[in-house]
Amino acid sequence: MTQRTCATTPVRRFAVGSATVVAAGILLAGCGSGGDPPPPPDPKDTLLSAVPNETTPAFRFTGTDASGTVTGSVDPAGKGMELTVVQQDAEAEFALTISFRVVDQRSWMRVDFEDAVELSTLLELPRQWMELDQSKLTKPEVYGGADVGNAAAIIRTAVAVQQQTDGSYAGTVDLTGGPEVAEAVDGVDVTAMGEAATAIPFTAVVGANGNLGTLALDLPAVGEQQAVEYVVRYYDHGNTPAVAPPTGDVAPAPAAAYDLLNG
Protein backbone atom coordinates (compact mmCIF):
# COMPACT_ATOMS: atom_id res chain seq x y z
CA MET A 1 0.00 0.00 0.00
CA THR A 2 1.29 3.41 -0.90
CA GLN A 3 0.85 5.72 2.06
CA ARG A 4 0.13 9.37 1.29
CA THR A 5 2.64 11.56 3.09
CA CYS A 6 2.57 15.27 3.66
CA ALA A 7 5.49 16.83 1.84
CA THR A 8 6.43 20.32 0.74
CA THR A 9 9.46 21.80 -0.95
CA PRO A 10 12.24 21.69 1.67
CA VAL A 11 12.38 24.94 3.64
CA ARG A 12 15.65 26.65 2.90
CA ARG A 13 17.49 28.25 5.77
CA PHE A 14 17.56 31.99 5.27
CA ALA A 15 19.07 34.67 7.45
CA VAL A 16 17.21 35.05 10.71
CA GLY A 17 14.12 37.14 10.09
CA SER A 18 10.42 37.22 10.80
CA ALA A 19 9.52 36.43 7.21
CA THR A 20 11.09 32.99 7.50
CA VAL A 21 9.20 32.22 10.70
CA VAL A 22 5.89 33.27 9.17
CA ALA A 23 6.51 31.19 6.02
CA ALA A 24 7.34 28.10 8.05
CA GLY A 25 4.20 28.55 10.12
CA ILE A 26 2.05 28.68 6.99
CA LEU A 27 3.65 25.50 5.62
CA LEU A 28 3.13 23.59 8.84
CA ALA A 29 -0.44 24.73 9.21
CA GLY A 30 -1.30 23.67 5.67
CA CYS A 31 0.36 20.26 5.86
CA GLY A 32 -2.24 17.50 5.76
CA SER A 33 -5.23 19.73 5.30
CA GLY A 34 -7.62 19.34 2.40
CA GLY A 35 -7.36 16.89 -0.46
CA ASP A 36 -9.03 13.53 -0.93
CA PRO A 37 -8.15 10.57 1.30
CA PRO A 38 -6.03 7.88 -0.36
CA PRO A 39 -8.01 5.11 -2.07
CA PRO A 40 -8.24 1.80 -0.20
CA PRO A 41 -5.67 -0.81 -1.27
CA ASP A 42 -6.71 -3.20 -4.01
CA PRO A 43 -7.64 -6.54 -2.34
CA LYS A 44 -5.81 -8.61 -4.94
CA ASP A 45 -2.65 -6.52 -4.51
CA THR A 46 -2.94 -6.95 -0.74
CA LEU A 47 -3.02 -10.72 -1.13
CA LEU A 48 -0.09 -10.79 -3.53
CA SER A 49 2.02 -8.61 -1.24
CA ALA A 50 1.24 -10.98 1.65
CA VAL A 51 2.61 -14.07 -0.15
CA PRO A 52 5.94 -15.19 1.39
CA ASN A 53 9.11 -14.06 -0.35
CA GLU A 54 12.84 -14.20 0.30
CA THR A 55 12.65 -11.56 3.06
CA THR A 56 9.95 -13.43 5.02
CA PRO A 57 11.19 -14.92 8.31
CA ALA A 58 11.24 -18.71 8.60
CA PHE A 59 7.76 -20.25 8.80
CA ARG A 60 5.87 -23.55 8.76
CA PHE A 61 3.38 -24.68 6.13
CA THR A 62 0.80 -27.32 5.30
CA GLY A 63 -0.71 -28.16 1.95
CA THR A 64 -3.79 -30.32 1.48
CA ASP A 65 -5.45 -31.60 -1.69
CA ALA A 66 -6.98 -34.80 -3.06
CA SER A 67 -3.65 -36.64 -2.85
CA GLY A 68 -3.09 -35.97 0.85
CA THR A 69 -1.28 -33.55 3.12
CA VAL A 70 2.24 -32.13 3.02
CA THR A 71 3.78 -30.46 6.06
CA GLY A 72 7.07 -28.70 6.57
CA SER A 73 8.96 -25.47 7.06
CA VAL A 74 10.70 -22.88 4.90
CA ASP A 75 13.76 -20.80 5.78
CA PRO A 76 14.06 -18.15 3.05
CA ALA A 77 17.17 -16.51 4.54
CA GLY A 78 19.05 -19.81 4.45
CA LYS A 79 17.43 -21.00 1.21
CA GLY A 80 16.22 -24.02 3.13
CA MET A 81 13.08 -26.13 3.15
CA GLU A 82 11.94 -29.29 4.86
CA LEU A 83 8.78 -31.20 4.00
CA THR A 84 7.14 -34.47 4.91
CA VAL A 85 4.61 -36.47 2.89
CA VAL A 86 2.63 -39.35 4.40
CA GLN A 87 0.98 -41.85 2.06
CA GLN A 88 -1.36 -44.45 3.52
CA ASP A 89 -1.86 -47.71 1.65
CA ALA A 90 -5.14 -49.13 2.93
CA GLU A 91 -4.81 -52.43 1.08
CA ALA A 92 -1.27 -53.14 2.21
CA GLU A 93 -2.00 -51.73 5.67
CA PHE A 94 1.10 -49.61 6.00
CA ALA A 95 2.02 -45.94 5.79
CA LEU A 96 4.94 -44.55 3.83
CA THR A 97 6.51 -41.35 5.15
CA ILE A 98 8.95 -39.50 2.91
CA SER A 99 10.84 -36.49 4.25
CA PHE A 100 12.93 -34.08 2.21
CA ARG A 101 15.38 -31.47 3.37
CA VAL A 102 16.76 -28.88 0.95
CA VAL A 103 19.47 -26.29 1.52
CA ASP A 104 20.14 -24.24 -1.59
CA GLN A 105 21.37 -26.70 -4.26
CA ARG A 106 21.71 -29.72 -1.95
CA SER A 107 18.95 -32.08 -0.83
CA TRP A 108 18.41 -35.13 1.33
CA MET A 109 15.66 -37.73 1.62
CA ARG A 110 14.54 -40.06 4.38
CA VAL A 111 12.02 -42.91 3.95
CA ASP A 112 10.11 -44.55 6.77
CA PHE A 113 7.80 -47.52 6.16
CA GLU A 114 6.74 -47.47 9.84
CA ASP A 115 5.22 -50.92 10.50
CA ALA A 116 6.65 -52.44 7.31
CA VAL A 117 10.37 -52.31 8.02
CA GLU A 118 10.91 -55.37 5.83
CA LEU A 119 9.89 -53.30 2.80
CA SER A 120 12.69 -50.85 3.51
CA THR A 121 15.12 -53.75 3.62
CA LEU A 122 13.62 -55.31 0.49
CA LEU A 123 13.95 -52.05 -1.44
CA GLU A 124 17.47 -51.53 -0.10
CA LEU A 125 16.62 -48.09 1.29
CA PRO A 126 18.54 -47.03 4.38
CA ARG A 127 16.44 -45.55 7.18
CA GLN A 128 18.73 -42.56 7.82
CA TRP A 129 19.01 -39.38 5.77
CA MET A 130 20.29 -39.97 2.22
CA GLU A 131 21.96 -37.22 0.21
CA LEU A 132 20.65 -36.99 -3.35
CA ASP A 133 22.76 -36.54 -6.46
CA GLN A 134 20.89 -33.89 -8.46
CA SER A 135 22.29 -35.20 -11.76
CA LYS A 136 20.43 -38.49 -11.19
CA LEU A 137 17.03 -36.85 -10.69
CA THR A 138 14.51 -36.21 -13.45
CA LYS A 139 13.48 -33.10 -11.54
CA PRO A 140 16.22 -31.71 -9.29
CA GLU A 141 15.25 -31.22 -5.65
CA VAL A 142 16.67 -27.75 -4.99
CA TYR A 143 15.42 -24.64 -3.23
CA GLY A 144 12.86 -22.95 -5.46
CA GLY A 145 11.61 -20.02 -3.38
CA ALA A 146 9.59 -19.26 -0.27
CA ASP A 147 6.12 -19.67 -1.80
CA VAL A 148 6.12 -23.48 -1.73
CA GLY A 149 2.32 -23.65 -2.13
CA ASN A 150 2.39 -21.59 -5.37
CA ALA A 151 -0.10 -19.19 -3.81
CA ALA A 152 1.08 -16.23 -5.91
CA ALA A 153 0.57 -18.12 -9.19
CA ILE A 154 -3.01 -18.92 -8.16
CA ILE A 155 -3.83 -15.44 -6.84
CA ARG A 156 -2.56 -13.75 -10.01
CA THR A 157 -5.46 -15.35 -11.89
CA ALA A 158 -8.03 -14.08 -9.37
CA VAL A 159 -10.93 -11.81 -10.33
CA ALA A 160 -13.66 -10.07 -8.33
CA VAL A 161 -11.55 -10.19 -5.16
CA GLN A 162 -13.32 -8.57 -2.21
CA GLN A 163 -12.49 -8.17 1.44
CA GLN A 164 -15.23 -9.62 3.65
CA THR A 165 -16.65 -8.14 6.85
CA ASP A 166 -14.55 -10.57 8.93
CA GLY A 167 -11.36 -9.35 7.23
CA SER A 168 -10.89 -12.40 4.99
CA TYR A 169 -10.83 -12.23 1.19
CA ALA A 170 -12.93 -14.03 -1.41
CA GLY A 171 -13.20 -14.23 -5.18
CA THR A 172 -12.62 -16.69 -8.00
CA VAL A 173 -9.47 -18.00 -9.67
CA ASP A 174 -8.84 -19.44 -13.13
CA LEU A 175 -7.07 -22.80 -13.01
CA THR A 176 -6.55 -22.66 -16.78
CA GLY A 177 -4.49 -19.49 -16.34
CA GLY A 178 -1.09 -20.93 -17.24
CA PRO A 179 1.54 -23.57 -16.51
CA GLU A 180 2.33 -22.21 -13.03
CA VAL A 181 -1.28 -22.70 -11.92
CA ALA A 182 -1.41 -26.14 -13.53
CA GLU A 183 1.68 -27.12 -11.53
CA ALA A 184 0.14 -25.83 -8.30
CA VAL A 185 -2.91 -28.10 -8.66
CA ASP A 186 -1.04 -30.95 -10.32
CA GLY A 187 -3.22 -33.65 -8.75
CA VAL A 188 -6.47 -32.19 -10.13
CA ASP A 189 -7.95 -32.96 -13.54
CA VAL A 190 -8.49 -29.35 -14.62
CA THR A 191 -9.45 -30.33 -18.18
CA ALA A 192 -12.34 -32.47 -16.91
CA MET A 193 -13.73 -29.47 -15.03
CA GLY A 194 -14.46 -27.69 -18.29
CA GLU A 195 -15.71 -24.12 -17.96
CA ALA A 196 -15.97 -24.47 -14.17
CA ALA A 197 -12.17 -24.40 -13.95
CA THR A 198 -12.13 -20.76 -15.02
CA ALA A 199 -14.07 -19.57 -11.96
CA ILE A 200 -13.09 -21.59 -8.88
CA PRO A 201 -14.25 -19.96 -5.62
CA PHE A 202 -11.50 -19.19 -3.12
CA THR A 203 -11.05 -17.62 0.29
CA ALA A 204 -7.86 -16.23 1.84
CA VAL A 205 -6.78 -14.88 5.19
CA VAL A 206 -3.96 -12.42 5.87
CA GLY A 207 -2.66 -12.43 9.44
CA ALA A 208 -2.11 -9.43 11.67
CA ASN A 209 1.59 -9.65 10.76
CA GLY A 210 0.73 -8.96 7.12
CA ASN A 211 1.64 -12.47 5.97
CA LEU A 212 -0.68 -14.75 4.01
CA GLY A 213 -2.10 -17.26 6.49
CA THR A 214 -4.46 -19.38 4.39
CA LEU A 215 -5.49 -19.82 0.76
CA ALA A 216 -8.37 -22.26 0.17
CA LEU A 217 -9.94 -23.31 -3.14
CA ASP A 218 -13.24 -25.17 -3.43
CA LEU A 219 -12.67 -27.67 -6.22
CA PRO A 220 -15.86 -29.22 -7.68
CA ALA A 221 -16.56 -32.92 -8.14
CA VAL A 222 -15.80 -34.15 -11.66
CA GLY A 223 -16.60 -37.72 -12.69
CA GLU A 224 -15.02 -40.04 -10.14
CA GLN A 225 -13.07 -37.14 -8.66
CA GLN A 226 -14.85 -35.97 -5.52
CA ALA A 227 -15.22 -32.34 -4.51
CA VAL A 228 -12.19 -31.36 -2.46
CA GLU A 229 -10.73 -28.31 -0.77
CA TYR A 230 -7.23 -27.30 -1.85
CA VAL A 231 -5.66 -25.52 1.12
CA VAL A 232 -2.28 -23.85 1.62
CA ARG A 233 -1.50 -22.63 5.12
CA TYR A 234 1.54 -20.56 6.18
CA TYR A 235 2.09 -19.95 9.91
CA ASP A 236 4.59 -19.53 12.79
CA HIS A 237 6.45 -16.75 10.97
CA GLY A 238 9.59 -15.86 12.90
CA ASN A 239 9.06 -18.72 15.38
CA THR A 240 10.39 -21.52 13.18
CA PRO A 241 13.96 -22.89 13.37
CA ALA A 242 16.34 -22.42 10.48
CA VAL A 243 16.74 -25.37 8.09
CA ALA A 244 20.22 -26.89 8.10
CA PRO A 245 21.83 -29.96 6.50
CA PRO A 246 21.21 -33.15 8.48
CA THR A 247 23.96 -34.18 10.88
CA GLY A 248 25.14 -37.58 12.04
CA ASP A 249 24.99 -40.70 9.92
CA VAL A 250 24.11 -39.55 6.37
CA ALA A 251 24.32 -42.04 3.50
CA PRO A 252 24.54 -41.47 -0.25
CA ALA A 253 21.20 -42.28 -1.87
CA PRO A 254 21.15 -45.73 -3.52
CA ALA A 255 19.65 -46.52 -6.93
CA ALA A 256 16.34 -47.49 -5.29
CA ALA A 257 15.86 -43.92 -4.06
CA TYR A 258 16.12 -42.55 -7.60
CA ASP A 259 13.75 -45.23 -8.88
CA LEU A 260 11.23 -44.08 -6.27
CA LEU A 261 11.61 -40.38 -7.08
CA ASN A 262 11.85 -40.62 -10.86
CA GLY A 263 8.87 -42.96 -11.15
* Lowest-pLDDT range of 110-119, 128-137, 160-169: 110-119
pLDDT in tens, 208-219: 999 999 999 999
Q: Is residue 96 located within the same domain as residue 223? A: no
HEC assignment per residue over 112-168: ECCCCHHHHHHCCCCCCCEECCHHHCCCCCCCCCCCCCCHHHHHCCCEEEEECCCCC
pLDDT in tens, 88-105: 665 656 678 899 999 999
pTM over 0.85: no
Instruction: Check residue 31 and give its pLDDT.
Output: 46
pLDDT higher than 80, residue 183: yes
Average pLDDT along the chain: 84
Categorize the per-residue pLDDT at 16 as very low, low, confident or very high, splitting at 50, 70 and 90. Answer: very low
Q: Could you give the number of structural domains in the chain?
A: 2
Task: Examine residue 209 and state whether it is found in any structural domain, yes or no.
Answer: yes
Q: Is residue 49 located within the same domain as residue 152? A: yes
The Cβ-side half-sphere exposure at 124, using a 13 Å CA radius, reads: 8
Instruction: Check residue 34 and give its pLDDT.
Output: 57
Task: Examine residue 136 and state whether it is found in any structural domain, yes or no.
Answer: yes
**What is the mean predicted confidence (pLDDT) over 171-200?**
89
Q: Is residue 49 located within the same domain as residue 157? A: yes
Q: Is residue 251 located within the same domain as residue 128? A: yes
pLDDT in tens, 233-252: 999 999 999 999 999 999 99
pLDDT higher than 50, residue 29: no
**Spatial contact of 100 and 245, defined as CB atoms under 8 Å apart:** no
Task: Examine residue 11 and state whether it is found in any structural domain, yes or no.
Answer: no
pLDDT higher than 90, residue 117: no
Task: Examine residue 59 and state whether it is found in any structural domain, yes or no.
Answer: no
